[in-house]
Amino acid sequence: MPGEPPQSVDPCDQQIQDALEAEPRVLLIDEVQGLGMKALEYFRNLWGDDARRAAIIFVGSGNARQKILNNPALHSRILDWYQFSPLTPTEVQAIIPAYQQTWAGTQPELILYADDMAGHGSFRNWARITLLLHDALEENPDLALSKDLIRWVLSRIDPTTRHTPQRS
């Protein structure tokens, strides 16, 4: 929000509520499993009355759903629940090349190899791998996307992963 943040809680809360009332808003709260009950209660209060009803999307794993279920006032405001699953190999082959230019034109077998190494359809892992591949390829234009390069990237993400170049 524009301007200097208020120096105390009440004016800050009022500023947030005023912004929610000004126009329709969507709040996306990620990593809900890490939030305490006070934070969840705060978001429930932001949902508020009809005048400032913001759409709030909670995203989380593990015990996120249980935390919300344990807060009846918040749970009663949940419109719908969605569970996301890892991408299937077919989805990986279709989505990943469209997701980032780094993968465009890559052989499907190499994409599946990277998926096997990355944790089968975890979009968060794909994002990390893609960023490191992009940086490596940009820094060294002589490199080509290969199993060796993918293994090197994975060794950067997880040092316990061995990078041993394969001989042809």
State residue 67's pLDDT score. Answer: 92
**Which residue in this structure is represented by tokens 């419109």?**
79
State residue 161's pLDDT score. Answer: 61
End-to-end distance of the chain based on CA atoms, in angstroms? Answer: 56
* Burial of 154 from C-beta contacts in 10 A (0-12 / 13-18 / 19+): buried
The phi, psi pair for 17, rounded to 5°, reads -65, -40
Tell me how many degrees the CA angle 106-112-117 measures, rounded to the nearest 5. Answer: 115
Query: Do the Cβ atoms of 115 and 105 come closer than 8 Å?
Result: no
Beta strands in 24-124 (DSSP E): 26-29, 55-58
Give the model confidence (pLDDT) of 21-68 as tens digits.
777 778 889 889 999 999 998 888 877 666 556 788 898 888 999 999
Q: What is the C-alpha to C-alpha distance for residues 133 and 130, in angstroms, rounded to an integer?
A: 5
**Which residue in this structure is represented by tokens 């001989």?**
167
State residue 133's pLDDT score. Answer: 92
Q: How high does pLDDT run on average in the chain?
A: 83
Whole-model pTM: value is 0.60
Helices 89-99 and 123-139 pack at an angle, to 10 degrees, of 40
